[in-house]
Structure 1
Amino acid sequence: MTTEFFDSFDGTRLALHRIGSGQPFVLLHGLFSNADMNWIKWGHADTIAAAGYEVLMLDFRVHGQSEAPHDPAKYPENVLVRDVAALVDQLGLEDYVLGGFSLGARTSLHAVVQGILDPQRLVIGGMGTAGLGEWTKRSAHFLRVIDEFDTIERGDPAYFSMQFLKSQGVDRLAARMLLQTLPDLDLASLQNISMPTLVVCGDEDRDNGSAIELAELLPNASYSEIPGTHMSSVTKPDLGAAIADWLEKTA
């Protein structure tokens, strides 16, 4: 495993973690997490690399080892899509796989729908229709967590999210600006995604709505169900195994 840094389109310094060799697989983490927490710690990166891929794991801005700027100008709409595009351009990637979990999945779908990125295959983890078409409503939960951070008590529905932000050391000022850059996605636009796609989700994961419905809206998608909730499914080996198995079947 190696870690390096590069300057994104606006000069923000971002961290990139790499392991393996073979076809590049750009793999994106979830909201307020990072590459280590989602992909490295639980062995998923190792599993995918062992299947013959170079796994390229970005820490989004405001996450992990990447910068968290406080300048509002650093947060244009869909800034994370632009960061991933900057990475693909920096590395000169052409024949690559793109995917992610939760926020990483949203970002991947936005990038493909907008025609900014054109991966050979696509992996969408922990995401359903509501997490795409009703993101503005869902993001209000996280904005409340940030705004009421010091007053949220145990038993409050937002308590667990507050504890997770605290454990990850998230810069709340930067996070608030980032949350407001993420638009809703028109679900009808999913019909334009033609490449083979894996939708993988925990059997108890309802955080982002129906993953099955999402798979049905994608013209060339397969659905895989693994054990766990939104938070626990990413900690089980089944996630990496499901991705590696699908990659082998669609190679």
Structure 2
Amino acid sequence: MEPLEPTPEPAPEPASRTHRVRTSDGVTVAVHEWDGAGRPVVLHHGFSASASLEWPRSGVPRALRAAGRRVLAPDARGHGESEAPHDPARYGEARMATDVVEVLDALGVDDVDLVGYSMGAVVSALVASTRPARVHRLVLAGVGAGLAELGGVDTRVLPAAALAAALRARDPGDLDPVVRGFREFAEGTGNDLLALAAQADAVHDRPLDLAAVTAPTLVLAGDADPLARRPEVLAAAVPGARSQLVRGDHGAALTDPGFAAAVAAFLR
């Protein structure tokens, strides 16, 4: 008897349309939408990725669409199809959080379920803590104790200054393996390296008022992710939050089947 052929994974589902929103400081942000009904789910990607790169391969839009949900996924400024200035003063997760709120206002959306990965989780935590009425349920993924202890992505593992220097380096051959990996990933995505360096210069590193979050919250982390160590510490800092592990490191956790399943189940 011949062995069965493995069943291929379904191709990622492309967005239905893309909106262009001009923010209050003049930067245009692209927002990709998957049609659906009810309260929208906003997906915010991580550093050096983009909405169309990160989310379809995770399976999250497909899982949410199967549940009938409308999905909105912005490209953060400096990423994907959004404008990419080179001035660090135009960046930072706090500015990106303002972008999210301005996108919701422009699209006539009052409140959402909000899912953020890595940098996007910092942005999402800022939205949920400063404008709690806009967030119904919250998923903070790809982050751990660093968000509670440092106010952002864990710079003890990924120093922001070293990352910015790596993105500006003419020859990345002698870089530390961690930052070199981010440089190589950024090159592969086609993003503007100088725009990404500007974001690295402006990375959020101040305390967050996580106690102000009122939305039910899931902290979702890969079990081998060095940037999401001790997710239970982050969950303890957010009222009523719980943490859950999936398999994989910072890149692979997104594509573990348990990731999309956990997000869809929590938002259901």
Q: Same fold (TM over 0.5)?
A: yes
After superposition, residues 73-84 of structure 1 pair within 5 angstroms as 74-75=90-91, 78-84=94-100
One of 38, 42, 49 as aligned partner of 1:33: 49
Aligned to 1:198: 218
User: Does the 8 Å contact 2:220/2:246 carry over to 1?
Assistant: yes
Task: Give yes or no for contact 2:77–2:83 (8 Å, CA) kept in 1.
Answer: yes
Aligned residue number for residue 13 of structure 1: 28
1:143 to 164, 182, 192: 164
Among 175, 187, 190, the alignment partner of 1:166 is 187
Answer whether contact 1:203 1:228 (CA < 8 A) is retained: yes
Q: Compute the displacement of 1:9 (Å).
A: 1.7
Which residue among 59, 67, 71 is the counterpart of 1:43? 59
Query: In 2, Cα distance between the equivalents of 1:160 and 1:76?
Result: 21
Are positions 1:61 and 2:81 aligned together? no
Structure number with bigger Rg: 2
Is this contact kept in 2: 1:128–1:212, CA < 8 A?
yes
Aligned length: 247
Correspondence for 1:129 among 139, 145, 167: 145
Once the 2 structures are TM-superposed, how far is the Cα of residue 152 of structure 1 from its aligned partner? 2.8
User: Structure 1 residue 115: deviation in Å?
Assistant: 3.1
Q: TM-score, normalised by structure 1?
A: 0.89
- Counterpart amino acid of 1:147? R
C-alpha RMSD of the superposition: 2.2
Which whole-Å CA distance do the structure 2 matches of 1:95 and 1:161 have between them?
A: 33
In structure 2, what is the Cα distance between the partners aligned to 1:114 and 1:133?
Answer: 18
Gaps spanning 5+ residues in structure 2: where?
A: 1-14
5+ residue gaps, structure 1 = none
1:234/1:149 CA distance change after superposition, 3 Å: farther
Contact map agreement 1:78 1:182 (CA 8 A) in 2:
no
Deviates more, 1:146-155 or 1:15-24: 146-155
| Partner Cα separation in structure 2 for residue 155 and residue 85 of structure 1 | 36
- Does the Cα contact within 8 Å between 1:132 and 1:184 map onto a contact in 2? no
Q: Which residue of 2 aligns with 1:210?
A: 230
The alpha carbon displacement at 1:69 in A equals 1.8
